[in-house]
A = this chain, B = another copy of it.
Amino acid sequence: MATMPGHSSRKVTRKDVARYAGVSDAVVSYTLNGGAPVAPATADRVRQAVRLLGYTPNASARALKLGSSNMIGVIVPDSTNPFWAELCRSVEAVARDKGYAVLVLNGYDSNALRLEYLQTLASRQVDGVLLTGEIDELDVDRFNATGVPWAMLNQPTTIEGALGVGVDLTAGARDATSHLIGHGYKRIAFIGEVTDPRYAGWLASLAEAGLGPGPVFDVPFTRAGGYASGQALAAAHDAVDAVFVSSDMLGSAVLRALHEAELAIPGDIAVVSFDGSPESEFSWPSLTTVRQPVQELAAKAVAQLLHREQPTEDEHLLKGTLILRQSCGCP
């Protein structure tokens, strides 16, 4: 018989189950959580009652008693960005596997919002919060003041007293740029944020090869930014034969701008980008890109967050892997 949606007949509590099974409240707990030995026959009766009554434990009560909600929070700049979206989904999967639910909040790169959300999450008794973006010592203190355990999700822990994992963006960018150099390109541009570690990697690779830096297009991580930089790049294409782009999202917009300018890729300008998102595989041409180990990032961050263990040197700095596709000139 179909009742109205959401019209529960009344909450079934553990006490109802106990009464129905003819045992005390405690035994129900023991049966369900294994806190103490229970006679098989009794346990069966309890489980029977649970099923018949449609009992669902009240997580709020449990959280209140235990001081732990079995939830974690994740604050990302924008869960719509393919990279963050994938990271969030991975965190959700890892967390759910451990019995945790995930609260995702969009922080839009605002420090104030980030702190505000951290408070909210604190009040919701989350067992920890994963944070993204740049932080300084001041932030560390502020975050700690909330009393919630936290860790950085995409940043290695360079700062004293902060946990976190991250991908070695500098090394990734260096590898990608070096690959371009291996193809024989000599005038290699950069697209991305110059404050980002990838900029340093690009620069380092060039220096290693004794090449001077190509033009730099300092743009935010948005599609519009990518498109604009792509247009600028197209305008400057006489002085450029390849480009390192700091993300796939940027990269596909760059591709669009280059096509529009009727430039051949990789013929006129070769491209490598960063992230290894699904989008990069099906762009035209497919993007050679540095794949971030999203799963591993999520798994390690969650583990660190939940177990509060300081990672060893090589545990907190993961490596990206270069995926060779067409945009760089590989066959």
Asked whether B6 lies within 8 Å of A150 as measured between CB atoms, the reply is yes
Asked whether B105 lies within 8 Å of A92 as measured between CB atoms, the reply is yes
- Chain B residues, Cβ within 8 Å of A11: 67, 147
User: Which of A169-177, A205-213, A276-284 forms part of the interface with chain B?
Assistant: A276-284
A48 close to B (CB within 8 Å):
no
Knowing A79-B79, A106-B92, A141-B2, the reply to whether A123 touches B54 (Cβ < 8 A) is no
Q: How far is the CA of A106 from the CA of B151 in the complex (A)?
A: 23
Minimum CB–CB distance from A261 to chain B (whole Å) comes to 11
Minimum CB–CB distance from A296 to chain B (whole Å) comes to 17
Asked whether B5 lies within 8 Å of A60 as measured between CB atoms, the reply is no
A322 close to B (CB within 8 Å):
no
What is the copy number of this chain in the assembly?
2
Query: When the two chains form the complex, which single residue of B92, B93, B223, B260 contacts A281, counting CB atoms closer than 8 Å?
Result: B223
Query: When the two chains form the complex, which single residue of B9, B85, B96 contacts A80, counting CB atoms closer than 8 Å?
Result: B85
Asked whether A128 lies within 8 Å of B6 as measured between CB atoms, the reply is yes
Contact with B along A243-263 (1 / 0, CB 8 A): 000000000110110011000
Interface of A is mostly: mixed
Contact with B along A140-164 (1 / 0, CB 8 A): 1101111111110000000011110
A98 close to B (CB within 8 Å):
no
- Chain B residues, Cβ within 8 Å of A57: 123
Asked whether B79 lies within 8 Å of A85 as measured between CB atoms, the reply is yes
Asked whether A5 lies within 8 Å of B125 as measured between CB atoms, the reply is no
Q: How far is the CA of A101 from the CA of B71 in the complex (A)?
A: 12
Knowing A6-B147, A58-B64, the reply to whether A284 touches B308 (Cβ < 8 A) is no
A19 close to B (CB within 8 Å):
no
A3 close to B (CB within 8 Å):
yes
Asked whether A64 lies within 8 Å of B56 as measured between CB atoms, the reply is no
Asked whether B125 lies within 8 Å of A58 as measured between CB atoms, the reply is yes
Minimum CB–CB distance from A182 to chain B (whole Å) comes to 25
Asked whether A279 lies within 8 Å of B282 as measured between CB atoms, the reply is no
Q: How far is the CA of A224 from the CA of B279 in the complex (A)?
A: 10
A61 close to B (CB within 8 Å):
yes
Q: How far is the CA of A247 from the CA of B299 in the complex (A)?
A: 31
Asked whether B89 lies within 8 Å of A5 as measured between CB atoms, the reply is no
A216 close to B (CB within 8 Å):
no
What are 28 A-B interface contacts by the 8 Å CB criterion? Answer: A2-B137, A3-B144, A4-B161, A5-B140, A6-B128, A7-B144, A54-B145, A54-B147, A56-B122, A56-B123, A56-B147, A57-B123, A58-B125, A59-B124, A60-B60, A79-B88, A82-B85, A85-B85, A89-B106, A92-B105, A92-B106, A93-B106, A96-B105, A223-B279, A253-B282, A255-B284, A256-B282, A256-B284
